[in-house]
Structure 1
Amino acid sequence: MTGPGIVDAHHHLWDLAVRDQEWITGEALAPIHRDFSLADLHLPASRAGVTATVLVQTVCLPQETPEMLALAASDDLVAGVIGWTDLTDRGIADTIARLRELPGGRKLVGLRHQVQSEPDPEWLLRPDVLRGLATVAASGLAYDLLVLPHQLPAATEVATRLPELSLVLDHLAKPPAATGETEPWATAVRALASRPNTFCKLSGLVTEADWQHWTLTDLRPYSDTVLAAFGPERLMFGSDWPVCTLAASYQEVVDTARALTAGLSTAEQHAVFAGTAAVAYGPALAARPTGSDPRPPPKSARARRTQCRDECI
């Protein structure tokens, strides 16, 4: 029996034998300081009804993107890749062109940088960064925004200056769900949403709340805010696996997103769980029916709270 599949628009993979993930530090993050492969993802994704995913960068190194594209080329579950390249490099157009020629290059749908780690709250507005973002737009790629609430005004200004660039906000800009505060985050996120070239991922909320004791009530003010601001047609589900496992299993994250959007119509739910990703990233992200992927799971390549707010991806 088949049905409409879910698109998971945000997850990661890493192999610590290839490179360490330097952001995974301290006792709180120790549970995810191990390898996470596509083999690990296949079973929970299948059980949750996920038929397509977007693999997102974790480090600001040029070597990682070709590796992710190669993984995507080897497995139909990964329908899109959000990579990294230096926005300030005047040769960024050539870099994007080279990435597209690599195995899996057709699955490159966007780029991202760890803006949350930049000390300048207006880093996105630097002339060299804006030039790079304009090149990203000209290439037809989207740009994922990994920012904190205080960096939202700069992101909004980018959306205003570059209306041809599709901007996708990761993790709702990490609102303070652990404290229950909504301002000034809510005002800033509404300002970003007022720009029609912006999207938002319903992702990362469980690790912004109290990892051990979060409830739907804790999360709902934030999901309701972005639902009202962006609308279902510009909101998309993302698991943020495996980072989410610090606070919830893969299935729990999917079930939570379903519960937070239960008041939507069937068409609106389809947008959040599949359609919006295809609009933001292209038709390669169109949902497939569950049970439609003929490929078997690949073999394994190798057989709390505050800290994550500032460091988790």
Structure 2
Amino acid sequence: MKLDAHQHFWHYDPKRQEWITPEMGRIRRNFVPADLYPLLQEVQIDGCIAVQAEESLRETDFLLDLAQEHEWIMGVVGWADLGQDNLDEVLDQYSNQEKLVGFREVLQAKDPRYMLRDEFVRGMQKLKERGYTYDLLLFPHHLEAALELVKKCPEQRMVIDHLAKPLIKDGEWRDWKKKISLLAEREMIYCKISGMVTEADWKKWTSDDLTPYMEIALELFGPERLMFGSDWPVCLVAGEYEQVYKVVDDFISPLSPSEKANLMGDSAVQFYGI
């Protein structure tokens, strides 16, 4: 099964999606399943994982409603405040939602120590007890704290979104590699090859700009713990869906059929329990 392990839907509202700046004008509109499905078909991808883009339970409900309507939306990574006192009650509300596979917060917008609070760690442990995964949305300067979090929750399945957003535009990779390699040593930690074009120069990136980061990710995580994600529609500020897909497809062309299958879907199926 081929999966796009990371994409978003939204009904655009400038207040709710305030992170979409004027320079990202192309994505200041609604993006719904009917927009994505033809793109998946063009590259023969069977389905996707819809990931939260807004920090609200309304967002989780919105994505679950879409997943119920469209069989090819195979999983939802929703939002919940892991530190809230009533987390158990919130999770109970979703106990019958089979397509809810995990959760995410926008940790990249928060102080790195935010994820090390006792209440956050306690919330993460509750996710583990219920079988949910966790997506880590980070910048490189969050990686040290993320490693501490992983040590506190060693049995929790987590995936690093967008390679932790290395400074591709600046060509920096040494410090990022050093930090992310420590997380890669943990067998419960996966990584998404996604979100690269928006960390590169939006106007003139090339596949050569992205290749070193994919090579490092493959070296550290192996195809068994890597998963392709388009980050559509965010990727559209820097490239078309088929361009994003082709970069990864070309990169993995020397791999064996089983290695390709892992990176293009099987790893995500295993991680998210699809």
> TM class, shorter-chain normalised?
over 0.9
**Cα offset, 1:151, TM superposition:** 0.3
Superposed displacement of residue 249, structure 1: 0.9
Instruction: Give the counterpart of 2:18 among 18, 22, 30.
Output: 22
- Matched position secondary structure for 1:168: strand
**Paired residues for 1:35-46 under 5 Å:** 35-46=30-41
| Equivalent in the alignment of 2:268 | 277
Residue 240 (structure 2) pairs with residue 244 (structure 1): no
1:67: Cα distance to partner? Answer: 1.2
Identify, as 1 or 2, the structure richer in helix: 2
SS of aligned partner of 2:95? helix
Contact preservation (8 Å) 2:16, 2:54:
no
Q: Which residue of 1 aligns with 2:56?
A: 61
Determine helix, strand or coil for the equivalent of 1:90. Answer: coil
Q: Structure 1 counterpart of 2:108, which letter? A: Q
1:8 and 2:4 correspond: yes
Structure 1 residue matching 2:170: 3-state secondary structure:
coil
Cα displacement (A) at 1:97 = 2.1
Aligned pairs for 1:96-107 (under 5 A) are 96-101=91-96, 105-107=97-99
TM-score of the aligned structures, taking structure 2 as reference length: 0.97
Q: Which amino acid aligns with 2:150?
A: A
Cα distance between partner residues in 2 of 1:100 and 1:53: 21
Contact kept, 8 Å, 1:193 with 1:229, in 2: the verdict is: yes
- Equivalent in the alignment of 2:100: 108
Distance 2:163 2:239 in 1: 18
Number of equivalent positions: 274
With over 3 angstroms needed to count, the CA separation of the structure-2 counterparts of 1:135 and 1:193, relative to structure 1, is: same
Instruction: State which of 101, 110, 117 in structure 1 corresponds to 2:109.
Output: 117
- The answer as to whether partners of 1:66 and 1:99 remain within 8 angstroms in 2 is no
**2:199 aligned with 1:208, yes or no?**
yes
Residues 160 and 195, structure 1, Cα contact 8 Å, conserved in 2: no
| Unaligned residue ranges in structure 1 (runs of 5+) | 285-313
1:81 to 65, 76, 81: 76
CA root-mean-square deviation: 1.3
Contact 1:90 1:132 in 2 (8 A): no
1:19: Cα distance to partner? Answer: 6.8
Q: CA deviation at 1:71?
A: 0.6
Correspondence 1:34 to 2:19: no
